[in-house]
Amino acid sequence: MSNSKLPSLLDRHWAESALAIGAIVIAAASLWVGYDTMRTNHRLVVAASWPFLEQNFSDATYTQQQLLTVDVTNAGIGPAKVESVELLWHGKAYRSADELLHVCCGYVPNADRQNDMITSTLQGWVMRPGDTVHLIWYRRPTTDPAPWEAFKAVVESGDAAPKFRICYCSAFNQCWLTNGHELDPPRVKVCPVAKIPLIG
């Protein structure tokens, strides 16, 4: 091979190498763009499935009856899988609203209970966005309003009021533990099992 052909061979070799390197760079950039797009889409889907549970207390008059209600609302934009619910007052957990009202307010459940109070629990429920559940619905009785008045004072007592501890998860199994009054409740990897769950 004559020396005159060497430069052309070297030029072709470098040109082919440059093309190969360029193809590798383009492929790597395409992979990165694809990965970043997938990650962004995943974040958007997760954000679009974000649940947010908040607790509300209401003292209202409805059809000429005074009502006390303690509600939990899913104010987020995704479903909330409620894993555990606890009702706490002064650091102690109660199995039911009846039990709490008996201790705090002298409430005595009786055969006519359904006429003045309805309670519920959320554990094991899936709350859709916008859903509201009455954990306590308590109508002021005409015969013995003292427990109702006492409970009203308790729930209006600020930091001394009863609190719910609720652990819930999104459709992507991201979980939060909230007292129902936090704008940014802490994330947890797994919902803790309630030692004394609220059963209603």
pLDDT in tens, 88-131: 999 899 999 989 999 999 988 765 555 688 888 899 999 999 99
Kindly state whether residue 198 falls inside one of the protein's structural domains.
no
Residue 163: pLDDT above 80?
yes
**Contact of 138 with 68, CB cutoff 8 Å:** yes
Same domain for 25 and 61, yes or no, is no
The answer to whether the CB of 119 falls within 8 A of the CB of 63 is: no
Specify whether 73 is located in the same domain as 29.
no
User: Are 80 and 173 in the same domain?
Assistant: yes
Tokens standing for 140? Answer: 């002021």
Both 38 and 61 in one domain: the answer is no
Q: Using the 8-state DSSP alphabet, how is residue 54 labeled?
A: E
Q: Is the pLDDT of residue 2 over 90?
A: no
Say what the pTM is: 0.74
Pair (94, 175) in one structural domain: yes
104 close to 90: Cβ distance less than 8 angstroms: no
- Same domain assignment for residues 125 and 163: yes
Answer yes or no: do 31 and 84 share one domain. Answer: no
